[in-house]
Amino acid sequence: MDGFAAVDFGFAREVLQRGIAALYLVAFVSTLNQFRPLLGENGLLPAPVLLDWVGDKPSRRRMLHPTLFLRMRYTDRRLAALCWCGIIVAAVLVLGIPQLAPPWVPMIAFLALWLGYMSVVSIGQTFYSFGWEMLLLEAGFLAAFLGSNEQPPSTVVIVLFWWLLFRVEFGAGMIKIRGGREWRDLTALMYHHETQPMPGPLSRQAHLLPRWFHRAEVVGNHIAQLVVPFFVFAPLLSIWVPGPVPQIIGTIGALIMIATQLWLVATGNFAWLNWVTIVVAFSAVGLPGVGSPSERTDAGAPWPGIPLYWFVLTSAVGLLVIALSWPALRNLFARRQLMNAGFNRWQIANAYGAFGTVTKERVELVVEGAADDALLWREYEFKGKPGDVRRVPGQFAPYHLRLDWLMWFLPLGRSLDDWFTVFLRRLLDADAPTLALLRSDPFDGERPRWVRAVSYRYRFATRSERRALGVRWVRTRQRVVLGPLGLR
């Protein structure tokens, strides 16, 4: 680092800008494909109903995060137009085209992504209530101030990314230590691979690893989340301490966190949570001479290579984030730590964390339909959640299957969410947009006479069960949770 110019972090900026833009592209594609049947004009939880309720009283407006749909009426076509604009802007950033211009050009592009996606998340209700939504928003906001290829990245903005990474990792570590006993007695990962929301193709193999390995996993997780995050701030010492050691420490810390996140990518489907963390972790990887501008401009300034207006702007952003960070900092050490909490309307300086407790059993709601009163029940297959015991779980992340994730939460609650009953009625109507969210429709577009939800206990098949029965899962029927519901 060279004072206000992070001259050794040009490569880090390339990864941050292109990686975050790529994840915004995935987020907008996911929204384009799923928002309308889930939350559109005829969705399970129609966003226009929420917006009309908010619009009835001006005081309710502050209950939502900023959204363009408070200034223009929501329609499915406008939602699709917003998504396509987001996809195009994100794709152009992935290609690096705005980064060839002055720094205000990629800034406008990233702020457009940030505001556009916040407009979606703000009205997404329970289907957009995941922690990685606010994480992507905060990362996108910070990416707006990374600058362009004309100058080195600002030290202030790079450090803000370290602070984001620290809150993600250390916050997750603290929530675990304070959470379920399984994290303290080192048994959490004896269950997690099997009971996580959406297992991947390697989850069963991970679950069947020896118990000592699962204990080692938990120890490694605690080290990666409670100790290593402090390493990323080491490069700050290079301002005063000559030599490469501070930067090497920061890079090693980043690589450790990247490795642990890649293990989570390989063994599960957590939408873009792990991928955002990986991309943000690259902010601590300093490579001298890689990705930095070949020539400095404004070399005589105390902030080498950075235009005065850009120095002022990024410094102001740094002060803003510092001012907004006090609640998040206090939360890290609070006795009742909040998980995935925002403290302001703009989704900046949030608190993060995940899996403070681990469920010990996997209960799935299987949705069934019958064509007539003979009640020969046939199952609807979801794209990601377990169903057919012979099917290998798919790898979908970083794409987010929102309906499948919400289905995992249903058995954990005291009662079924309202949207689920609407979902079953849409199946009775053979509603095409709703059926498109599923892997298969047992009635090939025809309307069933009855539908119901049945709970099953699922567990991964042992190696001997796999050889004998050819199954990946073993399941036990529990009870009918809802239904049968029939056509009127």
CA dist 68 and 49 (Å) reads 16
Give residue 381's pLDDT. Answer: 97
Structure tokens at 237: 């010492």
Q: Quick check: 415 pLDDT over 80?
A: no
Q: What is the pLDDT of residues 143-155, one digit of tens each?
A: 999 999 999 999 9
Q: Quick check: 445 pLDDT over 80?
A: yes
pLDDT band at 59 (very low <50, low <70, confident <90, very high): confident
As a whole number, mean pLDDT of residues 175-201 equals 96
CA dist 228 and 223 (Å) reads 6
Residues 6+ apart with CB under 8 A from 74: 41, 47, 48, 51, 123
Structure tokens at 266: 């390989």
Q: Quick check: 290 pLDDT over 80?
A: no
Gyration radius from the chain CA atoms:
24
Q: Quick check: 58 pLDDT over 90?
A: no
DSSP 148-165: -TTSPPBHHHHHHHHHHH
Structure tokens at 403: 């309906």
Question: 90, 28 in Cβ contact below 8 A?
Answer: yes
CA dist 90 and 161 (Å) reads 20
CA dist 277 and 136 (Å) reads 9
DSSP 269-283: --TTHHHHHHHHHGG
Question: 47, 40 in Cβ contact below 8 A?
Answer: yes
Distances (CA, A) of 358 to 63, 224, 362: 31, 19, 11
Q: How far apart are the first and last CA of the chain?
A: 70
pLDDT band at 292 (very low <50, low <70, confident <90, very high): low
CA dist 175 and 450 (Å) reads 43
As a whole number, mean pLDDT of residues 378-398 equals 96
Structure tokens at 295: 């020539």
Cα diameter, the chain? 85
Which one is predicted more confidently, 467 or 240? 467
Facing residues of 440 across strands?
381
Residue type, 366: V
As a whole number, mean pLDDT of residues 444-456 equals 96
Burial class of residue 155 (count of CB atoms within 10 Å of its CB; 0-12, 13-18, 19+): buried
Give residue 315's pLDDT. Answer: 96
Q: Quick check: 442 pLDDT over 90?
A: yes
Q: Using alpha carbons, select from 453, 444, 400, 399 the residue that is nearest to residue 425.
A: 453
Q: Using alpha carbons, select from 268, 51, 283 the residue that is nearest to residue 165.
A: 283
Q: What is the pTM of this model?
A: 0.95
Q: What is the pLDDT of residues 87-105, one digit of tens each?
A: 999 999 999 999 999 999 9
Q: Using alpha carbons, select from 105, 90, 69, 138 the residue that is nearest to residue 346.
A: 138
Give residue 301's pLDDT. Answer: 53
Q: Using alpha carbons, select from 1, 313, 353 the residue that is nearest to residue 173.
A: 353
Phi, psi of 241 (to 5 degrees): -105, 115
CA dist 304 and 7 (Å) reads 9
Question: 427, 398 in Cβ contact below 8 A?
Answer: no
Phi, psi of 450 (to 5 degrees): -140, 150
Q: What is the pLDDT of residues 37-46, one digit of tens each?
A: 999 999 999 9
Question: 458, 364 in Cβ contact below 8 A?
Answer: yes
Locus of tokens 């600058």: 147
3-state SS class at 60:
helix
pLDDT, averaged across the chain: 94
Q: Quick check: 299 pLDDT over 50?
A: no
Facing residues of 459 across strands?
474
Question: 483, 450 in Cβ contact below 8 A?
Answer: yes
Q: What is the pLDDT of residues 207-255, one digit of tens each?
A: 999 999 999 999 999 999 999 999 999 999 987 888 889 999 999 999 9
